[in-house]
Amino acid sequence: MKFWKENGSLCWKHQYETVQITPWGKNALRVRTTKYPAFTSHNWALEEPIPDTAADVSIEIADDGRSDASITNGRLCIHADGSGIMTFCRDGQKFLKEYHRDYDQPSCPESRCLKIRGREYKAIAGGDYTVKLRFESNDGERIYGMGQYQQSYLDLKGCTLELAQRNSQISIPFAVSSLGYGFLWNHPGVGNVVFGKNYTEWEAKAAKQTDYWITVDDTPAKILENYTEVTGRTPMMSEDLLGLWQCKLRYRTQEEVLSVARKYRELGIPLDVIVIDFFHWTRQGDWKFDKDYWPDPKAMCDELHAMGTKVVVSVWPTVDKKSENFGEMLDRGLLIQTEHGSNQTYEFQGDCLTIDLTNPEAQAYLWEKCRKNYYDYGIDMFWLDNAEPDYGAYDFENYRYQLGHALEVSSLYPKLYVRTFFEHTGALSLARCGWAGSQKYASLLWSGDVPSTFESLRDQISAGLNMGLAGIPWWTTDIGGFMTDDVADEDFRELLLRWFEFAVFSPILRMHGDRGPHDIPPLSDKEWGGGSLFTGQPNELWSYGEEAFRIMKKQLDLRLSLRPYIAELMREASETGAPLLRTMFYEFPDDPHCWELEDQYMFGGQYLVAPILHAGQRERRVYLPAGTWKNIADSQICTGGQTIVCPAPLEWIPVFERSL
C-alpha cells in the first residue's frame, strides 16, 4: 500500500488496484479505481471545463506514506485508511463510508470473515470486469433523483433500479441525498443500483474501471447547481414554445396538419407547436416525407409559420432492411451490430437495424438526410423518438456499438442522438430518453408510452420530480397518457382533464396520445408508405365535447397568462440548473414535513400544485408550508404551516400562489 500525489490528485495502489481521487468542481471530488495499468480517457458525463478550486484543495499523507491519507476540496473530504477503505466527510462529519466486511482489518469494528469488500471486480472471461461499489447505509436517509422510473416512489431509499434505458424508463444515475450530498455514477453502461437498508450497491455489468463523482452542500438546490456546473446546463428556451403543443398518433397528411392549425386559428386559440408523428415516411430509415401524402412540405411549413406555429417532425433511428439507405449504411458499418443470431434489433412495421449514433460518421449521415429532407423545408425542431434506442428485446448483451459493447456504453446513446441535431440547429429536440448531461443539448424529455390511467398519472408526478433532481429541467408527458382504448369513455375524459390541469404547471403543455378505437381505415392498401399505418382518433382540444373543451380552454388561458413567469423559470434553469418541477423540500429544505410529501410539488418558487390523482376525487388535503398562500381559483388567502382540505371540482386542481 502506497499513497502519493499526482497532478493535484490523491493516488494509491493496493495489490492490483489503482485509485485516483481528483478535485472536480465546487465541494466535489471524482473517484476512479481500476485494475488496468491506466485509466481510460473518457470523462462521460463530466464534459464541462472544471472550475478552478485549487485554493480549497489540500492533500495529506501520513509520514510513512502507507497508514492513511486524505484529500479535501472545500467542504468535502475523503479519507483512506491503510487498506484503502474510504470514508466521506462533510464539514468534518462522516456521512458515507465504503461497506467492508473482510478480516484484513482486525482493528476495524466492521471487520468480518465474510470476504465482502467495498470495491469488487469480477472478471468477464476474455474481457473487462463486472464491478460493484458498496457503501454503508444510513438510517433515516432519503434518496432522490436517478431519472425516470415508472413507479410512485419519490424517495428511492429501499428501491432497486436498473441502470439501463427502456421505453418510459430514463436512467440518469445522479442521486441527491437528504444528508446533503449528491452522487453521480459516471458510467454509461448497463447495471443496477440497490439503495438498501443494510447497504447501497452500485453495479456495472461491464466496465474497465469504477468512476463516480460526489459533492456536498447545504441544500438540494446548491447540490444541483454544483452538479450541473460540471455536467452542463440547458440553454434558454424560447418563450414562444411555452404555450400549447398539439400532437396525436398520427396526422397522416399535409392537409390534416393544416386543417388542425387552421381550426385553432379560427377559434382564436394560439398554437405554438404542431407535431408530425411517425410513419409520415416511406420506410423507416428513408428519413423523408412520403410525397403521396406530403406533396409540398415547404408550403406547409410556410403557412404554419405565418400562423405563428412551429413544426416538429418525428425521426426514428431504426432502418428497415428495405429502406433505400440500408445497403449503404450496412456496407459502411453505420448500424448497431448483433453478437448472436439474426442481424435484427427492431421489428415494429419492418425488419430493422438501428443506426449506431456512437459512430460520428453515422451521426453525420443521419443529419445530412434530415437536413435535406426536413430542415431545408422549414421544419423547426425534431422529435427524436425511440431514443433509448428501443429494441425488439432488451437483450443488451447481444448488441455492439462502435464505441463499445452495449453493456458498457448503451445508456449514452440518447445523449448522442440529441447532440447530433443540436450541433447543427441549436434547437430543442423532443426525445424519449436521455442521460447525464443531456440537458446541455436542449433535450426536452418526455415520459414515454405510458398507460392512460390514474395510477400512471400518479407515477408521472414522481418521475417528473426525480428527473428535475437528476439535472433535467425540460420534461413533459403525453396529456391523458399514451394508450387509450376508447376516447368516448367518460372515465378517460375525466383523466384527460386532470392530466391537462397538471400539465399546465409543467415545463411543456403537450397534447399527445394513441386514441382508440382503431376503426379508421388506412389511406392505402400498400404494406409500406405513409398511408399504410393506422391512426388514432382526434386529439385536439375540441375533440372531447363542449364541457371538456371549455375546461381545457380556460386552463390554456391560465397557462398563457403564466408565460412570462415560466420564461423566468427557464432562465433560472439555464443559469443554475434549477428544475421547473420542484419537490416541496427543494423549496423548503428546513421543513421536515416537506421531505415526506410525494404527491404535491412546487412549480418554480411561487406556485404550489396539488394534482388530483384519483377518479371521482373532488377535494384533497394540501400541506401549506409557513407563509401566506392564495388559492388561485377563488383568491382565498390561507396561512401556512398547516394542512387544509381544498375543493377540487372538475374545472381545476388546487394551486396556491406563494406571497414572496
Catalytically active residues are 385, 388, 449
CA atoms within a 13 Å half-sphere pointing along the CA-CB vector of 360: 1
Could you identify the residue written with the cell 453505420?
334
Q: How far is CA 591 from CA 14, 201, 224, 584, 585, in A?
A: 45, 30, 19, 9, 7
Taking a C-beta distance cutoff of 8 angstroms, is the pair 462, 153 a contact? yes
Taking a C-beta distance cutoff of 8 angstroms, is the pair 394, 345 a contact? no
Phi, psi of 444 (to 5 degrees): -100, 105
The residues facing 144 across adjacent strands are 176
* Peptide linkage before 579 cis (omega within 30 of 0): no
- Cell for 316? 426514428
Distance between CA atoms of residues 35 and 47, nearest Å: 24
Taking a C-beta distance cutoff of 8 angstroms, is the pair 498, 636 a contact? no
Distance between CA atoms of residues 44 and 32, nearest Å: 13
CA angle 604, 436, 569 (to 5 degrees): 15
509-511 and 399-400 beta bridge pairing: unpaired
Q: Over 368-386, what HEC string results?
A: HHHHHHCHHHCCCEEEECC
Could you identify the residue written with the cell 479535501?
72
CB atoms closer than 10 angstroms to residue 444: 28
Residue among 368, 366, 384, 476 nearest 427 (CA) = 384
Distance between CA atoms of residues 7 and 178, nearest Å: 33
Q: In what order do the strands lie in the sheet with 143-148?
A: 2-6, 9-14, 17-23, 28-34, 209-216, 181-185, 170-177, 143-148
Taking a C-beta distance cutoff of 8 angstroms, is the pair 254, 297 a contact? yes
What number of H helices and E strands is found in the chain? 12, 40
